[in-house]
C-alpha cells in the first residue's frame, strides 16, 4: 500500500467531510445507538444471516418472484421480436439463450457463496464478511451488471467490501452489521413509509440512499472514535484478500462516494479469504505430529532434548506464507485458537506458558501494577499484540513450537527416560 498516497487522500477526505463531521451531532450520540445491545444484535444477525445463506442453498429452480420478473422481461420483448427480420430474430434468440445461461451462472455463483459461508469446516462467521452486501447479492437484491469488457459483476460503493471493525463487549473483532441495525426496531418509520428516524432524532430517507448515508455516518463515527483513542482500525480488504490495521486517516481516505465495478470472482475471493487456511493447518498439524514420531524413533545414545530453534524456524516459514491474524483467530490446532488461549492464560496469569513475557504484558496492560489481568485488560493486551505483525508472528511460532515440544516429550520411549534418570543419579 502506498502510505503517502493514502495519507494525502486522507487529508482531502477530511477537508471534504469537515462540514459533515462538525455539522452532525449524530456522530456524538451514535455511540449509544450502535453499541446498544451489541451481543444480542450480533447473535441475532448471525442466525438471520446463516438462515438466509441456507435458504438460497435449498432453492429449486426459479422462485415465483424471479419467474414473474423474467416473464415480464421477455413479454416486453415479444412485440419487438415479431417485427424483426430472419437474421435479427436469430441474433435475438441467441442473445436470449445467452442471457438465460448467464442467469443460471449467476444463480450458481450465489449458491457457491452461500455454500462457502455455511460450510462449518471453513469456520466463517457472518461477522467476518460484509454481511449486508453479501446478503443482498445472495438474495438477488442487487442486480448483476456488465462492465465495458463484458465481465459480470456488481456496481458497489467503493467501501462496500472494505468494512471497518469494532469490538463487541467481549473484545472480539466484529464487522458492524449496518444492515441489521438499519432494519431493527431502533428506527421509527414514518406513516408514509418515506423516512426512518433513530431515537436521537436523526432522519434518513427510507431507501437504499438513506441506508448508505446512515452506513457512512456510522463508519465515520468509528473512525473519529479511533482518532480520539489513538487506536487503529482493522480493515478487511476484498481487493487484496488481506487484513490490515489502518490509521484513522487511511481508513477515512477509503470512504469515497464513487461506485466501482466488482466482479463476481472478486466477491468470491472476499468470502474465500475468510476461510480457515486448511493448507497451513495441515502443515502445522503434520509438523506437530512429526515431533511425536521423532521421539518414538529415538535410540540409545540419542539426545532427548527437543530442538526448539529448529522447530521455531519451521513454523516461522509456515506463518510467513499465510495470514497471521487468521492463524491467531482460527482453530488451527485442536479445539482452540491462539487468541482464545492467550486471552484465557492472561487472566489466569499463566501467559508465560505460551511464551509471552511479563514485560510485554505490563507494557500493554491498561491497569498495570494491580497484580492481576482482568478480562478487559486481557482483551486490550491481545488486541495490541494482534496489531503488531512482527510480534504476533513471533508469538505464533512460539505457540506452535510449544505444541510440538509437548508431543515430543510425551512420546519419548519410557526405557530412554528411565536410562536418562539413572545417568542423572550417577552424576548427582
Do 14 and 252 meet the contact criterion of CB atoms below 8 Å apart?
yes
Q: Is 147 helix (H, G, I), strand (E, B) or coil?
A: coil
Q: What is the DSSP string of 313-335?
A: HHHHHHHHTS-HHHHHHS--BTT
The pLDDT value given to residue 171: 54
C-alpha cell at 178: 449496518
Q: Provide the grid cell at 244.
A: 490490515
Least confident stretch, 29-38, 323-332, 386-395, 402-411: 29-38
Sheet holding 233-237: strands in order across?
Answer: 173-175, 162-167, 233-237, 243-246
Average confidence score pLDDT of the chain:
72
Render pLDDT for 168-208 as a digit per residue (tens, 0 to 9): 555 554 444 566 667 766 688 888 989 988 776 778 898 87
Which residue ranges make up each domain of the chain? Answer: 3-272, 278-426
pLDDT at 319 over 90: yes
Gap between the Cα atoms of 262 and 266, Å rounded: 6
d(CA 192, CA 107) in angstroms, rounded, equals 35
Rounded to an integer, what distance in angstroms lies between the CA atom of residue 423 and that of residue 426? 5
pTM of the full predicted structure?
A: 0.56
**Cα separation, 400 vs 408, whole angstroms:** 12
246 pLDDT tier (thresholds 50, 70, 90): low
C-alpha distances (whole Å) from 341 to each of 202, 352, 380, 399 are 42, 12, 15, 10
Q: Which residue, 319, 312, 313, 340, is CA-closest to 393?
A: 319
All three cell numbers of 58: 435449498
The pLDDT tens digits for 2-56 are: 333 333 333 433 444 444 433 334 433 444 444 444 455 445 555 655 665 566 5
Amino acid at each position: 500500500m502506498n502510505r503517502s498516497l493514502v495519507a494525502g487522500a486522507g487529508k482531502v477526505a477530511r477537508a471534504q467531510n469537515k462540514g459533515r463531521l462538525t455539522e452532525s451531532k449524530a456522530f456524538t450520540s451514535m455511540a449509544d445507538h450502535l453499541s446498544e445491545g451489541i451481543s444480542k444484535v450480533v447473535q441475532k444477525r448471525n442466525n438471520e444471516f446463516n438462515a438466509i445463506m441456507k435458504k438460497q442453498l435449498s432453492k429449486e429452480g426459479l422462485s415465483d418472484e424471479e419467474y414473474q420478473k423474467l416473464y415480464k422481461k421477455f413479454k416486453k420483448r415479444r412485440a419487438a421480436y415479431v417485427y424483426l427480420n430472419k437474421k435479427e430474430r436469430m441474433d435475438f434468440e441467441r442473445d436470449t439463450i445467452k442471457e438465460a445461461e448467464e442467469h443460471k451462472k449467476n444463480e450458481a455463483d450465489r449458491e457457491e457463496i452461500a455454500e462457502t459461508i455455511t460450510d462449518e469446516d471453513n469456520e466463517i462467521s457472518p461477522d467476518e464478511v460484509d454481511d449486508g452486501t453479501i446478503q443482498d447479492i445472495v438474495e438477488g437484491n442487487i442486480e448483476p451488471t456488465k462492465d465495458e469488457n463484458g465481465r459480470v459483476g456488481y456496481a458497489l460503493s467503493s467501501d462496500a467490501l472494505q468494512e471497518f471493525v469494532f469490538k463487541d463487549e467481549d473484545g472480539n473483532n466484529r464487522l458492524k452489521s449496518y444492515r441489521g441495525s438499519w432494519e431493527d426496531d431502533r428506527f421509527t418509520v414514518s406513516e408514509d413509509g418515506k423516512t426512518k428516524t433513530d431515537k436521537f432524532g436523526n432522519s434518513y430517507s427510507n431507501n437504499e440512499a438513506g441506508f448508505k448515508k446512515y452506513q457512512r455516518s456510522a463508519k465515520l463515527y468509528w473512525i473519529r472514535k479511533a482518532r480520539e483513542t489513538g487506536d487503529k482500525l482493522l480493515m478487511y480488504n476484498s481487493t487484496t484478500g488481506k487484513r490490515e490495521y489502518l490509521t484513522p486517516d487511511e481508513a477515512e481516505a477509503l470512504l469515497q462516494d464513487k461506485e466501482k465495478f466488482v466482479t463476481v470472482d472478486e466477491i468470491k475471493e472476499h468470502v474465500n479469504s475468510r476461510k480457515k487456511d486448511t493448507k497451513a493447518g495441515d502443515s502445522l498439524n503434520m509438523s506437530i505430529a512429526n515431533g511425536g514420531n521423532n521421539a518414538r524413533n529415538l535410540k540409545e545414545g540419542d539426545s532427548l532434548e527437543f530442538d526448539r530453534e529448529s522447530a521455531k524456524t519451521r513454523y516461522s516459514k509456515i506463518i510467513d506464507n499465510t495470514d497471521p491474524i487468521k492463524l491467531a483467530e482460527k482453530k488451527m490446532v485442536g479445539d482452540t485458537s491462539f487468541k482464545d488461549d492467550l486471552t484465557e492464560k492472561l487472566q489466569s496469569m499463566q501467559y508465560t506458558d505460551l511464551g509471552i513475557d511479563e514485560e510485554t504484558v505490563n507494557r500493554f496492560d491498561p491497569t498495570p501494577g494491580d497484580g492481576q489481568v482482568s478480562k478487559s485488560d486481557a482483551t486490550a493486551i491481545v488486541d495490541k499484540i494482534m496489531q503488531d505483525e512482527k510480534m504476533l508472528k513471533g508469538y505464533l511460532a512460539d505457540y506452535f513450537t510449544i505444541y510440538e515440544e509437548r508431543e515430543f516429550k510425551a512420546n519419548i520411549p519410557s526405557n530412554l527416560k528411565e536410562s536418562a534418570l539413572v545417568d542423572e543419579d550417577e552424576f548427582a
